[in-house]
Amino acid sequence: MATFEELFRSAQHSAYHLEMRDAYGLDDDYQEWASGKRFDPAERWPWWIDLVADSVARGVAVHRARIVSEPISAYTRYEYDLTSGHNVKAGEIVRWLPRRQASALALPGNDFWLFDGTSVLFNHFAGDGAMTGEELVTDPAVVDLCASAFAAVWELATPHEEYRPA
């Protein structure tokens, strides 16, 4: 299976990411932020800035949609606080959708990356938010489900610049 970076670098038109969890692995970066120490995400993760910026420069649309519970979790606050200096700075377009507005949407069971509308990389997580693996799927029915789910979320979601978390 191709690595995430290989899939990302081979994208020709789009790389769309749907996140649906209120917390992920509570790593050292999160613990540092939670303790009140702030840092520049661009300095912490320059590889992401480079990967996304290179892709956007090639004409790839990089979109991230987050479905979040409100009031937001501490982890979601961490993501929100870092989004401008990390995701947006890299060239991503990010939108937020309160979970209560997603009730009528058909959504897959896992977060995913959708590349060029032809392949889906599912991210699998344990209950504590630790990533347990990835699964690459090219079945057209699954790809279509993820594409329509992402489009539905994107349509309802609020751009990062306008979203004010509750």
pLDDT tens string 59-102: 999 999 999 999 999 999 999 999 998 999 999 999 999 999 99
Report the CATH number at residue 15. Answer: 3.30.870.10
pLDDT tens digits, one per residue of 98-130: 999 999 999 999 999 999 999 999 999 999 999
Average pLDDT, the chain: 96
Question: 9 pLDDT exceeds 90?
Answer: yes
CA distance 67 to 21: 7
Contact 94, 64 (CB under 8 A): yes
pLDDT of residue 106: 96
Identify the domain containing residue 56 by its residue range: 4-159
User: Please, which pLDDT band fits residue 166 given cuts at 50, 70 and 90?
Assistant: confident
Q: What is the pLDDT of residue 110?
A: 98
Residue 67 in any domain: the answer is yes
Q: Is residue 28 a contact partner of residue 44, using CB atoms and an 8 Å limit?
A: no
Q: DSSP labels for 32-100? A: HHHTT----HHHH-HHHHHHHHHHHHTT-EEEEEEEE-SSPPHHHHHHHHHHIIIIIHHT-EEEEEEGG
Number of domains into which the chain is organized: 1
Does residue 141 fall inside a structural domain? yes
Tell whether 164 is covered by a domain: no
Q: What digits encode the pLDDT tens for the residues 33-67?
A: 999 999 999 899 999 999 999 999 999 999 999 99
Asked, for residue 166, whether it belongs to a domain, the answer is no
